[in-house]
Chains A and B, each alone.
Chain A
Amino acid sequence: MTTQREVLSLYKQLLNKAYKFDNYNFREYAKRKITHSFKTNKSVTDGESITQLYNAGIDSLAQLHRQATISGMFTFDKLVVEPLKKHH
C-alpha cells in the first residue's frame, strides 16, 4: 500500500532531480512532464493502480537521475528567456 506521504516524497524527489538539468529545454520538459503526470492521476483511488503508478515513478526517477548526470557533463549557454540570478 502506497501512502500519500510516499507519493509526495517521490514527487519532491522527481522535481529535485528535474531542477538539476543544466539545459533549459530538458529542465522545463522534465518539470512539466512530472507535474502533468501527477495532476492527471490525482484522483486515482484504487490502491493497486496507485502502487503501479508509484513504481513507474520510481523507474522514472532512476532514469531522470541518469540523464541529469549525463547532462551535467556538458555545458550549455543560458537562453535569453532564462531569468538571471537575483541579488538580495
Chain B
Amino acid sequence: MFRNALMRGLRAPLAARQSALPRVGAVYAPANVRFYAGFPALTRDGAKERILELLEGYDKVDTSKEITEQSSFVQDLGLDSLDVVEVVMEVEHEFNIQIPDNEADNLKTVGQTLDYILAQDDAC
C-alpha cells in the first residue's frame, strides 16, 4: 500500500525529469563569453613575462646576461640541478599545473618550459 503510493509519487517527477534532460545538452555557450570565475586565456607573451619575472626574482639566477627563450637553466643562468627542481616547482605553483619528473627532466631551457606550459590545457 505504502509502496504503491511511493512508486506513484516517484514516477511523476521522474517523467518530468526525463523530459527536461535533452534541454540541458542544448544550452547555448558561445566560445567568446568570459565567465566571472574564469581566467583570461594564457598567451605565449603573458606566460613568458611571468616566467621571466619568476626567474629574475630568484636570487641564484645570474642576471648579468639577459634571459631569453634560448637561455639554458644550467649553462646560461648558472643554476645547479637542485635549483632547477626549485624553479620547476615555482613554475608549477605559478601556473597551477603538475609537471611529472620524467617531463621535468626534459625542460632545459626557458623556451622548452614555455612550450610545455602552453601544451597544458589546465595551465592558467
Contact = CB atoms under 8 A, between A and B. Distances in A.
Interface of A: 4-5, 8-9, 11-12, 15-16, 19, 35, 38-39, 42, 88
Interface string B90-108: 0001000000010001000
Interface of B is mostly: helix
B88 to A, nearest CB: 8
Contact of B89 (A4, A5, A15): A15
Interface stretch (B21-29, B61-69, B79-87): B79-87
Given A9-B101, A88-B39, A88-B124, A42 B86 contact: no
B13 interface: no
A51 B85 CA distance: 20
Given A5-B105, A12-B88, 16 more contacts: A4-B81, A8-B81, A8-B101, A12-B85, A12-B89, A12-B101, A15-B85, A15-B86, A15-B89, A16-B89, A19-B89, A19-B93, A38-B82, A42-B82, A88-B39, A88-B40
Nearest to A31: B86
Q: Which 6 A-B pairs have the closest CB atoms?
A: A12-B85, A9-B101, A11-B85, A8-B85, A38-B82, A88-B39
Contacts of A35: 82, 86
Contacts of A8: 81-82, 85, 101
A81 to B, nearest CB: 16
A17 B82 CA distance: 16
A5 B39 contact: no
A80 B106 CA distance: 38
A69 to B, nearest CB: 20
B82 A11 contact: yes
